[in-house]
């Protein structure tokens, strides 16, 4: 038995011995030359956010290419000790493209990718340390969420200023982040600057849950904000953020969704909660994944680099149907369109949560504190 075979057998035994079963969704392909792609979920489906959108992206690929592609989604669960052996096991199989998303998986991909230089990896919404290792087989794609969040800030502040959301609902905005980290603060910085472009002295209550997987805690924090005078809260916290939506329903206040159209997602299962989602700031992971596979097939995927996509690439933006369509008067929709054009042209410069230093970030958060 070769060393590689022994290593494969060991990893297979580790996975089989796990007390939690990996949930796998696969779609077979008939063509002998079919490409094989896998999406590794560092968590579970049902988050109504990143992971569900990634799975939707896999569906888009399958719908477009049919028997020319075989797709699989593997849920690795929240036990992080299972992630590395799963990545290694998958890497020793015959997949052409191995995809994962969020910064939480970047360290594992950084460890595994150099061991399998003949494989191609994709990290969505995370960055490989290209300056510290040989990651020529990894494509990283990140979002300019600050651009989309700038529009969300304009939208929310305008609803208050114009009286669409009456003062009796509250006089400040809210922000619920999963963790106090640069990617979440990239949302925050754009949101604050967009809101300040409408109301320079706007007040925004800011909370960090410290987790992306605790809806109960998200609800608790959001309810505290609503009770203190927040009229519209913006959740950027994965499953934790679903608690914000539940809080909006309970408090009869407004919430902004994130990543996916959360009004649409809950419209059938919880229409009362969906009715309180004013709009959502979209990060189109599904579209990004499908775009990535297109570029891969065309030989145009910039492997070995990081690519940032935003409003110009239509990778971020606001959900414009449902509640947003009725809440936003024509003048506000025009204001949003003008801001979008300004950001794309460079006339409007939106600060980045990745570039801002700690002192400036603290100053911003202090300035908007209610």
Q: What angle do CA 174, 257, 230 make, to 5 degrees?
A: 20
Query: What tokens appear for 322 in the block?
Result: 């449902």
- Residue 51 in contact with residue 44, Cβ under 8 Å? yes
For residue 131, give the DSSP letter: T
**What is the per-residue pLDDT across 140-193, written as a single tens digit (0 to 9) for each?**
999 999 999 999 999 999 999 999 999 999 999 999 999 999 999 999 999 999
Q: Between 55 and 27, whose confidence is greater? A: 55
Complete DSSP assignment for 25-55: EEE----TT-EEEEEEESS-S-SSSHHHHHH
**Does position 293 have pLDDT exceeding 50, yes or no?**
yes
**What is the per-residue pLDDT across 225-259, written as a single tens digit (0 to 9) for each?**
999 999 999 999 989 999 999 999 999 999 999 98
**What is the per-residue pLDDT across 331-353, written as a single tens digit (0 to 9) for each?**
999 999 999 999 999 999 999 99
pTM summary value: 0.79
Instruction: Report the pLDDT value the prediction gives residue 32, as an integer from 0 to 100.
Output: 57
Radius of gyration of the chain (CA): 21
Alpha-helical segments (H) within the chain:
3-17, 50-65, 83-91, 106-112, 145-161, 182-198, 215-227, 239-251, 262-266, 271-274, 285-298, 323-327, 330-345, 358-368
Classify strands 230-236 and 204-208 as parallel, antiparallel or unpaired: unpaired
Strand order in the sheet with 204-208: 204-208, 172-177, 230-236, 254-259, 277-283, 316-318
What number of CA atoms fall less than 13 Å from residue 19's CA on the CB side? 3
- Residue 243 in contact with residue 119, Cβ under 8 Å? no
Q: Between 102 and 233, whose confidence is greater? A: 233
- In total, the chain counts a number of residues equal to 370
Instruction: Report the pLDDT value the prediction gives residue 31, as an integer from 0 to 100.
Output: 54
Owner of token pair 């794609």 = 141
Q: Which residues contact 345 (CB under 8 A, 6 or more apart)?
A: none
CA distance 58 to 125: 16
In DSSP terms, 174 is beta-bridged to 205, 233
Classify strands 277-283 and 316-318 as parallel, antiparallel or unpaired: antiparallel
Owner of token pair 């990894």 = 138
């Amino acid at each position: 038995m070769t060393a590689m075979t022994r290593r494969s057998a060991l990893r297979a035994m580790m996975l089989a011995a796990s007390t939690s079963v990996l949930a796998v969704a696969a779609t077979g392909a008939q063509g002998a030359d079919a490409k094989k792609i896998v999406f590794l979920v560092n968590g579970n489906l049902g988050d109504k956010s990143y992971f569900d959108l990634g799975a939707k992206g896999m569906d888009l690929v399958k719908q477009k290419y049919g028997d020319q592609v075989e797709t699989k989604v593997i849920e690795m669960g929240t036990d992080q000790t299972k992630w590395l052996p799963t990545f290694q096991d998958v890497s020793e199989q015959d997949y052409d493209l191995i995809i994962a998303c969020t910064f939480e998986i970047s360290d594992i991909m950084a460890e595994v990718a150099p061991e399998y230089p003949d494989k191609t990896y994709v990290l969505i919404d995370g960055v490989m340390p290209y300056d510290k290792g040989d990651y020529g087989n990894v494509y990283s794609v990140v979002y300019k969420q600050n651009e989309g969040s700038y529009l969300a800030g304009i939208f929310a502040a305008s609803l208050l200023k114009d009286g669409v959301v009456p003062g009796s609902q509250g006089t400040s905005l809210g922000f619920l982040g999963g963790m106090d980290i640069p990617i979440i603060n990239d949302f925050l910085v754009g949101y604050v600057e967009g809101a300040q472009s409408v109301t320079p002295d706007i007040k925004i209550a800011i909370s960090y849950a410290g987790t992306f997987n605790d809806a109960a805690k998200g609800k608790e924090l959001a309810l505290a904000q609503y009770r203190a005078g927040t009229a519209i809260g913006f959740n950027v916290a994965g499953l934790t953020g679903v608690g914000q939506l539940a809080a909006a329903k309970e408090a009869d206040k407004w919430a902004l969704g994130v990543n996916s159209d959360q009004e649409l997602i809950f419209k059938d299962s919880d229409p009362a909660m969906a009715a309180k989602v004013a709009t959502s700031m979209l990060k189109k992971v599904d579209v990004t994944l499908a775009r990535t596979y297109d570029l891969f097939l065309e030989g145009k995927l910039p492997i070995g680099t990081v690519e940032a996509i935003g409003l110009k690439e239509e990778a971020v933006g606001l959900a414009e149907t449902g509640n947003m369509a009725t809440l936003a008067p024509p003048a506000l929709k025009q204001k949003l369109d003008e801001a979008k054009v300004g950001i794309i042209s460079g006339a409007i410069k939106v600060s980045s949560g990745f570039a801002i230093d700690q002192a400036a970030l603290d100053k911003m958060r202090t300035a908007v504190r209610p």
